[in-house]
Chains A and B, each alone.
Chain A
């Protein structure tokens, strides 16, 4: 199994296509950081225009933690599209190349193949997120410096102390990893049904786009189905940046306002992963290789 996983990783990282996602993340994060560095003050003035009439806001507001939050908000919707590039290709790409039949004539079980490929996709996803974390958080720390973070909500503001933030990002990236692995497992399942990678990649992207739109549209008829769409739960990472407050309305360090809801969202995503993976194994074990 370990040997198969090594081989799958070797194959993934030998393909130029793999690095498109890393390059895209680098470019997007870089562009956002560049824009905020050049014109961030104006951006912050615009964001805080209502508050500045009631409060004196001092200090390094446009710091790495806020920049990272902005980047995550913007990019975590698009990263699934990059993940589907690899996940949707895992089986269908091999079928298209003709290597699937060669692979399956070797003394390895189909279940092992599924697990090795799924684990390889998971590792790829984690590395992509790690790369994003390095760029969005650690590079931002170098460029923008540290400070307390203002989390601007529609009707209130959450102020997080700088020493109470890093663990939240670790948790948020952990949650994002679960969300992205859900996408990878969906792409992986869809790749079982095709003999070229375009179909599963586009299908995965389409599912994500349609579900995301349905998840964000505030129309009563769609509200009923939102809890059943996994994309609704993919934005649960934001919950780590809401804190409990005491009687004086002060943030309590180390707390999460609605941890139960965040954990429930994570649980639903994990159930989706298990479901997609189980379905993949069942389909693949019975699949006639005709390519």
Chain B
């Protein structure tokens, strides 16, 4: 797939603070590209630079093969975005907002039916004529998505699209992203500070911390089942650890600072591990399998040292 976004050594400094530091990554056509990092990691600054809201202090951005600075208008014509809270004009109705942004996006006169189609897609058709000030946060979020889609862009950028949403709202946005990717062949960049959200939709991932790239790769690589981390808690962890060190599972034990016993194994081995624990009469309280990436993400974003990085 040809690259849609090519970022090279992108940097942004706010006086003494480096928000984004020499960041490079590539988003290919058709990707649902997950952009992960804790709050303040530099995700929003990067996304704002991709949308020309913030001027980079260094590096280059190419979108659709064109330089962002010199072809801004042509590029933005093919981009739809929701940046954090999708604030729109509260004193206008949902339909008026969609129509207004469709006009600004360079679309000629759109029929009301076409505009209603977009509102239908996000489940707001029945509130088309209501003023936005009467909307809940979730409804505003969905209206923001409708506005991002109204000019049929090839690339959709969603910055923390599930912020402030209830579980149903989060599921709706997730399904919408998958629908856009699979049924409308859109390239989607979606940022979040929650791995659990991204892993369900993204086929490629980038994790950043303090403005720097920590890891980039496909979900298949990063969510490799052979790299599953298992956390074990027993009634007597010291005794259980000694038993495991004396068993065939010794090679899978991982160094940890937590009180739990941590092993890294193929997901398929877990039932066998369970049987071994029973055979050794280990009094198990809990056995928790997790992706290695989750640990890695926690490590890079919160500084917790549960296990060695999954890249080991």
Does A107 lie within 8 Å of B53, measured CB to CB? no
Does A106 lie within 8 Å of B101, measured CB to CB? yes
- Chain A's closest residue to B83 (CB) is A101
Does B76 lie within 8 Å of A107, measured CB to CB? yes
- Chain B's closest residue to A4 (CB) is B104
Question: B92 contacts which chain A residues (CB < 8 A)?
Answer: 11, 14
| In the complex, B252 has a CB within 8 A of chain A | no
Contact of A106 among B55, B76, B85, B96 (CB under 8 A): B76
Contact A97 B77, CB 8 Å, known A3-B103, A106-B101: no
Query: From residue B219, how far is it (CB to closest CB) to chain A in Å?
Result: 27
| In the complex, A157 has a CB within 8 A of chain B | no
Contact of B79 among A10, A97, A105, A290 (CB under 8 A): A105
| In the complex, A7 has a CB within 8 A of chain B | yes
| In the complex, A103 has a CB within 8 A of chain B | yes
| In the complex, A288 has a CB within 8 A of chain B | yes
Bound-complex Cα distance A104 to B101 (A): 11
In this complex, the interface size class of chain B, counting residues with CB under 8 Å from chain A, is 20 to 34
Contact A288 B55, CB 8 Å, known A97-B89, A103-B104, A107-B74: yes
Does B105 lie within 8 Å of A102, measured CB to CB? no
Question: B101 contacts which chain A residues (CB < 8 A)?
Answer: 102, 106
Bound-complex Cα distance A97 to B89 (A): 7
Bound-complex Cα distance A104 to B53 (A): 7
Contact of B54 among A99, A102, A289 (CB under 8 A): A289
Question: A7 contacts which chain B residues (CB < 8 A)?
Answer: 100, 103-104
| In the complex, A98 has a CB within 8 A of chain B | yes
Interface string of B95-135 (1 = CB under 8 A from A): 01000110111100000000000000000000000000000
Does A11 lie within 8 Å of B77, measured CB to CB? no
Segment 243-295 of B: residues with Cβ below 8 Å from A: none
Does A105 lie within 8 Å of B76, measured CB to CB? yes
| In the complex, B210 has a CB within 8 A of chain A | no
Interface string of B45-63 (1 = CB under 8 A from A): 0001001111100000000
Question: B81 contacts which chain A residues (CB < 8 A)?
Answer: 102, 105
Bound-complex Cα distance A224 to B26 (A): 62
Query: From residue A97, how far is it (CB to closest CB) to chain B in Å?
Result: 5
Interface centre among A16, A286, A289 (most CB of B within 10 A): A289
Query: From residue B96, how far is it (CB to closest CB) to chain A in Å?
Result: 8
Does A102 lie within 8 Å of B74, measured CB to CB? no
Does B147 lie within 8 Å of A109, measured CB to CB? no
Query: From residue B189, how far is it (CB to closest CB) to chain A in Å?
Result: 13
Bound-complex Cα distance A7 to B92 (A): 12
Bound-complex Cα distance A107 to B151 (A): 11
New A-B pairs, 20, CB < 8 Å, besides A102-B81, A105-B79, A107-B106: A3-B104, A4-B104, A10-B100, A14-B96, A97-B87, A97-B90, A98-B84, A99-B87, A102-B86, A103-B104, A105-B51, A105-B52, A105-B76, A105-B81, A106-B101, A107-B72, A107-B73, A107-B76, A108-B104, A289-B48
Which residues of B does A touch, CB under 8 Å?
A: 48, 51-55, 72-74, 76-77, 79, 81, 83-92, 96, 100-101, 103-106, 144, 147
Cross-chain pairs A/B with CB under 8 angstroms, 26 sampled: A3-B103, A7-B100, A7-B103, A11-B92, A11-B100, A14-B91, A14-B92, A15-B91, A16-B91, A97-B87, A97-B90, A98-B84, A98-B87, A99-B88, A101-B83, A102-B101, A104-B51, A105-B52, A105-B53, A105-B79, A106-B101, A108-B73, A288-B53, A288-B55, A290-B48, A290-B54
